[in-house]
Amino acid sequence: MEFLANSKIIRVCGVEPESIVDGPGFRYVLFVQGCPHRCKGCHNPESHDPEGGFDMTTGDVFREIQENKHLRGVTFSGGEPFEQAEALVELARMIKGAGLSLMCYSGYTLEELQARHDPWTDELLLMTDILVDGRFVESQRNLTLIYRGSENQRVIDMNKTREAGEVVLYKSDFDIDVII
């Protein structure tokens, strides 16, 4: 594939090639390196330092994704994916071209991302099917939530949001009220 020849570099904290907890279905998870939010209580603090981690090309990541024919989608987590939006757009194009869904986590809210008026951020948002937005707030931590760690975060159905012109929250088959 010619698009792999000029691959962009992504600074990576790690990958999880087979996850069932980082979005709907069987997913490949890319944890990017570098996060300006540095939320207290973050479950992935080793991803904060932008100088940490290691480099991977978008082509190498996509080859790993293609190796597993059982994947339903890919999740970009972090760190903060939108700090590497340009490289992730290239990867997202490949992912969407392969017919996979794309989920992104961000410490920024959707409104903060839109206010950037950055073409790479805008394009990554356009390709995102599900966005979990908002910083992790330790005092609002809730282990019963699906795909998010604190009450203030939203799981946004980006396709329905674009259609409706307003935020539409994602509804999972697993959305249930848990009484402890």
Q: What's the pLDDT at 174?
A: 56
* Residue 136 within a domain: yes
Short-list 101, 154, 114, CA closest to 131: 154
* Residue 170 within a domain: no
CB 124 within 8 A of CB 89: yes
72-89 burial: b if 16+ Cβ within 10 Å, else e:
ebbbbbbbbbbbbbebbb
**H-type alpha helices, 98-142:** 110-115, 119-127
Domain count, the chain: 1
Q: 116 pLDDT exceeds 90? A: yes
Q: What's the pLDDT at 180?
A: 35
What is the band of 177 on the pLDDT scale with cuts at 50, 70, 90? very low
* Residue 83 within a domain: yes
Q: Which domain holds residue 125?
A: 2-164
CATH of residue 8's domain is: 3.20.20.70
DSSP 8: P
Q: What's the pLDDT at 172?
A: 79
Tokens of 8: 């962009």
Mean pLDDT of 65-73: 97
Strands (E), 88-143: 101-106, 130-133
* Residue 177 within a domain: no
**Cα gap 151→83, rounded to integer Å:** 24
